[in-house]
């Protein structure tokens, strides 16, 4: 299940109008029947503004699709942000982005594991 699904242009408009956090919060309640903690709301507001800065690139078509908070079936895990569309060769493509509120990160010797300290004021 998706909490938020829109075209790139709709996403850009929702961020520009300062409504994206509220829209996602309302959809989490409507679709998942749960209230979002304030820290999660702040995280959406901060992280999605950065994604807005990435997506205003004119080389990304306005028709590209944005999916936020995709619930992975049979788990209680979610993917933060997915961008889908066609690449320059007109092949279907998807980019999966995990948004973090990290201020620092350190590499570890373990595969796909990092050491970090969260910072809820910066994305």
Buried b (16+ CB within 10 A) or exposed e, 26-61: ebbeeeeeeebeeebbebbbbbbeebbeebeeeeee
- The pLDDT, as a whole number, for residue 36 is 85
- The pLDDT, as a whole number, for residue 31 is 87
Paired tokens of 51: 């994604």
Residues pairing with 116 in the sheet: 105
* pLDDT > 70 in the chain, percent: 94
Question: Taking a C-beta distance cutoff of 8 angstroms, is the pair 20, 12 a contact?
Answer: no
Domain extent listing, the chain: 2-118
- The pLDDT, as a whole number, for residue 121 is 42
pLDDT at 118 over 70: no
Question: Taking a C-beta distance cutoff of 8 angstroms, is the pair 96, 103 a contact?
Answer: no
pLDDT tens-place string over residues 23-64 = 999 998 998 888 888 888 888 888 899 999 999 999 999 889
pLDDT: is 11 or 116 the higher one?
11
- What confidence tier does 6 reach under pLDDT thresholds 50, 70, 90? very high
Strands 65-71 and 78-86: antiparallel
């Amino acid at each position: 299940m998706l909490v938020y699904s829109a075209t790139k242009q709709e996403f850009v408009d929702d961020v520009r109008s300062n409504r994206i956090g509220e829209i996602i919060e309302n959809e989490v309640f409507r679709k998942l029947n749960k209230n979002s903690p304030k820290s999660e709301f702040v995280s959406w507001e901060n992280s999605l503004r950065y994604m807005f800065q990435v997506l205003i690139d004119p080389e990304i078509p306005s028709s590209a699709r944005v999916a936020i908070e995709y619930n992975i079936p049979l788990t209680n895990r979610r993917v933060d942000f997915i961008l889908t569309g066609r690449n320059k060769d007109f092949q279907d493509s998807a980019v999966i982005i995990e948004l973090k509120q990290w201020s620092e990160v350190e590499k570890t010797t373990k595969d796909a594991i990092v050491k970090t300290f969260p910072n809820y004021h910066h994305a």
